[in-house]
Amino acid sequence: MAPLVQRSGDAVFANVERVNAELFTLTYGAIVRQLLTDLEEVEEVNKQLDQMGYNIGIRLIDEFLAKSNVSRCVEFKETAEVIAKVGFKMFLGVTASVANWDADGASCSLILEDNPLVDFVELPDTCQGLYYCNILSGVIRGALEVVSMKTEVNWVRDMLRGDDAYELRVKLLKQVPEEYPYKDDE
Amino acid sequence: MIGVGKVKQYTNVLDKPLSKGKQEVSLSAFAFLFSELVQYNQTQVDNIAELERRLEDAGYGVGVRVLELLCHRDKGNRRETRLLGILSFVHSTVWKVLFGKVADSLEKGTEHEDEYMISEKELLVNRFISIPKDMGTFNCGAFVAGIVRGVLDSAGFPATVSAHFVPMEGQQRPRTTILIKFAEEDGNLAQREREICAKNAAFMWIYFRRKCGPALLSFQGRVVLFSARTNGLSAARMRERDLHIMC
């Protein structure tokens, strides 16, 4: 299962239009710099980045489903694999790995070794509480919410804070059944 | 702990090896990110001019860093000192690295001495953006104008840069022009260019007078001009060898 998903991720990435990762990195840096100047509080910036990520995620999921041709995921384990291998590859050009499943399969870690958002970045002492890549947690949360999964996404490890990789903890809170926006008898 | 785990730990980001610049992300990832940048700035301003200024400021930071990165990686730490040099650097190298292709055209303005224009049929940043009618002449290319201004400013050529839509006949979408207006406090830029030329010529003149002696006085005029154009001491030395043989 896993190698097949990985190969489809590579295939999709080869088919989408691509831009230089440095433009992406530097634009993201410009965004974070603007937020820091405007909001000044590191916690506020974290929240704003998460919100921006959420806004991106709710639209990104449409493009993901349209271009990647993945079949419907049966359980959360599959969802996590698809996000890590196809989702990340398709948009960021890097794959993540899934690990640390908890007992009931509702919570896992996505581990990123390579992250195009953080090239050339170093956190100064004044911003030590900043989750620089918090936009990613918002994207995942937003994307999963549109496909009826309410999740909570947190950072466990962050290379900019001295750890050895980026680790996101994704926890499935509940599956919301799909609601039709109109009544049947109208 | 440093050095534990698969990836080598670097305490300082400056110790990390510089990437080759070949890594790619999808265009849609960039488009989403840029749209969030514009949307966030829209909430922070009251009018169009302010929005353009903020986008330009965001681009300025990108431009400064792009110049540093490219000068170090692609040009071996040499910096451009001539106006046309820096303009063609922006038009070809910067555009190629950031947008994957060189800009469509680089033109000199006809009305003013210090105005130049880089044109592009459709800026990458504007691919998925449509401007509502009530926003008038607003152009998200202000971000790219900011990038260009950042590059020029940190290279020592302060300028005002703006992005404009220019409607073209027969085309549905207007092309975008980045207008660069160089700022020179005392006089114009052409004067500075002439001074640089004169300084180069004077240097070559002194070098040759010392090396070749008065016998070659009649050749000096042509030699000096040739060396000033090639702008390299090795070329001047070659010329000197030829002249010695002739003597």
Summarize pLDDT for B124-137 with one digit per residue, the tens. Answer: 888 888 888 888 78
Percent of chain B with pLDDT over 90: 28
What is the number of domains present in chain A? 1
Q: Answer whether residue A76 is part of any domain.
A: yes
A86 CB within 8 Å of a chain B CB: no
Higher pLDDT, B191 or B230: B191
Q: What is the predicted pLDDT for the residue at B191? A: 66
Position B203 confidence tier, pLDDT thresholds 50, 70, 90? low
Q: Answer whether residue A77 is part of any domain.
A: yes
Q: Which residue of B has its CA nearest to A95?
A: B25
The token pair at B2 is: 């440093």
Q: Answer whether residue A182 is part of any domain.
A: no
8 Å CB contact between A135 and A48 = no
Q: What angle do CA A143, A147, A148 make, to 5 degrees?
A: 115
- What strand order describes the sheet that includes A166-175? A97-99, A107-112, A166-175, A149-157
Q: What is the predicted pLDDT for the residue at B210? A: 63
Q: Answer whether residue A184 is part of any domain.
A: no
Q: Answer whether residue A12 is part of any domain.
A: yes
Nearest-angstrom CA–CA distance, A142 and B160:
39
- Which of A18, A30, A120 is closest, CB to CB, to B27? A18
Q: What is the predicted pLDDT for the residue at A30? A: 94
Over 80: is that where the pLDDT of B237 sits? no
- Which of B23, B57, B59 is closest, CB to CB, to A21? B23
Q: What is the predicted pLDDT for the residue at B215? A: 47
Q: What is the predicted pLDDT for the residue at A24? A: 93
Q: What is the predicted pLDDT for the residue at B52? A: 92
B23 CB within 8 Å of a chain A CB: yes
Chain B closest CA to A169's CA: distance in Å? 20
Q: Own/partner pairs for B135-138, CB < 8 Å, 24+ apart?
A: B135/B48, B136/B48, B137/B48, B137/B164, B137/B165, B138/B48, B138/B51, B138/B52
Q: Answer whether residue A13 is part of any domain.
A: yes
Q: Answer whether residue A183 is part of any domain.
A: no
Position A184 confidence tier, pLDDT thresholds 50, 70, 90? low
Q: Find the domain containing A14 and state its range.
A: 1-175
Measured between beta carbons, which residues in chain A are less than 8 angstroms from residue B20? Answer: none
Chain A closest CA to B45's CA: distance in Å? 12
Which of A175-179, B141-145, B156-160 has the least mean pLDDT?
Answer: A175-179
CATH code (residue A32): 3.30.1380.20
Which of A162-166, B47-51, B201-205, B208-212 has the least mean pLDDT?
Answer: B208-212
8 Å CB contact between A90 and A175 = no
Q: Answer whether residue A26 is part of any domain.
A: yes
